[in-house]
Amino acid sequence: MNSKKILMAMSGGIDSSIAAMILKNQGYSLIGATYRTFDQISDSCLAKEKGCCSVDSIFEAKALAESMGFPHHILDIREEFKSSVIADFIEEYMHGRTPNPCVVCNSNIKWGKLMEIAAELGCDTIATGHYARISKTYEGRYFLQCGVDLAKDQTYFLWKLSQYDLAHTVFPLGNLTKPEVRKMAFDAGYEKLSKKGESQEICFIPDNDYRHFLSENVKDFDKLCKYGNFVDPSGKIIGKHKGFPNYTIGQRKGLGVAFGEPRFVININAERNEVMLGTREDLQSHYCYVNQLNMMKYADFTDGFEVAVKVRYRSKAALARLFHHADGIARVEFVDLIDSITPGQSAVFYTGDDFADVLGGGVIIANSVVE
């Protein structure tokens, strides 16, 4: 029996359940924990693998923990989730940016609160079902490495984790592929779990309609989200839009106006309620600027440091160089033109062999010149 006590974050889905099973089989003493973050429940949510939106999932996690023989706690953090993750989501959209709530949730809620609870329960470490790995440099710095299953790798969402977080976390699935995890669940007698589907929606917006969510959760949304102007890159008015929160960078469909060639949203000015449209060429950029930097593998970087950068979860990492721009701001210069670099999204920097090591990351603030 391993003496280390681990707090296991459980969602009721296949990944965290099999991660718990692996640790249990290795002899660790586990305590399960599942968050209650939001009250939204929908048929689409209940039918899919989802971490924190379904009451059913909470009790499925509890039943799985009990079947494996370790205690389980349900943690009601709805107020913290609302004041942190949901508030940030609303704030970003209402300022014309496109946020990534999973990144905020991981750093502020999943790890922020779990670390507190782990200490209260006497646990040395926390564990989750993420597909990622943790390594350590000779100088003693912890950093993330991509999971073996690159199709499931989740390091993009974890770049804000601190050195303390990484030092006290284990990822049992980091060296496994999703098909291997499904087979382990099936072989262990969890046939239903092994066939559970996955979802890409935001947990508190299970129908994926963020516009409807904003209309219900932003005070005086109809007054704030009023009709405004579409403009071209020169500033010329070329049409009317239905309110800037209804649009995101790169959007082409649903603009409500027709042109002789495809037009894309290339910029959003919330203060002026203007949405700029342009061609695909206008949408492309060789650089972007990021703030909220969090460094992992190295404490800093030299100007011109070569990296591969992901500006969206599903995008391919693109070769680039990093430069210091101003206090707390870095400039990312891409080798090739990149589509739809979106303020509010994360830019995650990869280095090392095959660019599998996370150097760090930041939040994109602009894809044009920052003074």
Provide the pLDDT for residue 50.
45
Q: Please determine, for residue 6, whether its predicted confidence score (pLDDT) is greater than 80.
A: yes
The amino acid present at 212, given as its one-letter code, is: H
Q: Can you give the pLDDT at residue 369?
A: 56
Is 203 among the catalytic positions? yes
pLDDT at site 153: 97
Q: State the average pLDDT for the chain.
A: 90
Name the pLDDT band for 47 (thresholds 50, 70, 90). very low
Domains, the chain, ordered by start: 5-129+172-198 (3.40.50.620), 226-278 (2.30.30.280), 284-366 (2.40.30.10)
What pLDDT does 211 receive?
86
What pLDDT, in 10s, does the model give residues 70-111? 999 999 999 999 999 999 999 999 999 999 999 999 999 989
> How far apart are alpha carbons 77 and 51 in whole angstroms?
14
3-class state of residue 301 by DSSP: coil
What Cα–Cα distance (Å) separates residue 201 from each residue in 42, 47, 197, 206?
Answer: 12, 13, 12, 6
Which residue type, as a one-letter code, is found at position 348?
V
**Residue of 105, 123, 146, 288 marked active site:** 105
Q: Give dist(CA 160, CA 173) in Å, integer.
A: 20
| Confidence bin at 49 (pLDDT 50/70/90) | very low
Q: Where are the beta strands (DSSP E) in 52-110?
A: 72-76
Q: Is the pLDDT of residue 52 over 60?
A: no
The predicted structure's pLDDT at residue 48: 43
Of 52, 53, 102, 203, catalytic: 203
Distances (CA, A) of 61 to 46, 94, 195, 220: 13, 35, 16, 38
Of 319, 226, 304, 205, the residue nearest 272 (C-alpha): 226
Q: One-letter amino acid identity for 106?
A: N
pLDDT at 41: 47
* pLDDT per residue as tens digits for the range 152-209: 999 999 999 999 999 999 999 999 999 999 999 999 998 888 888 776 668 888 778 8
The pLDDT, as a whole number, for residue 194 is 87
SS3 351: strand
- Give the pTM: 0.92
Distance CA 42, CA 79 (A): 21
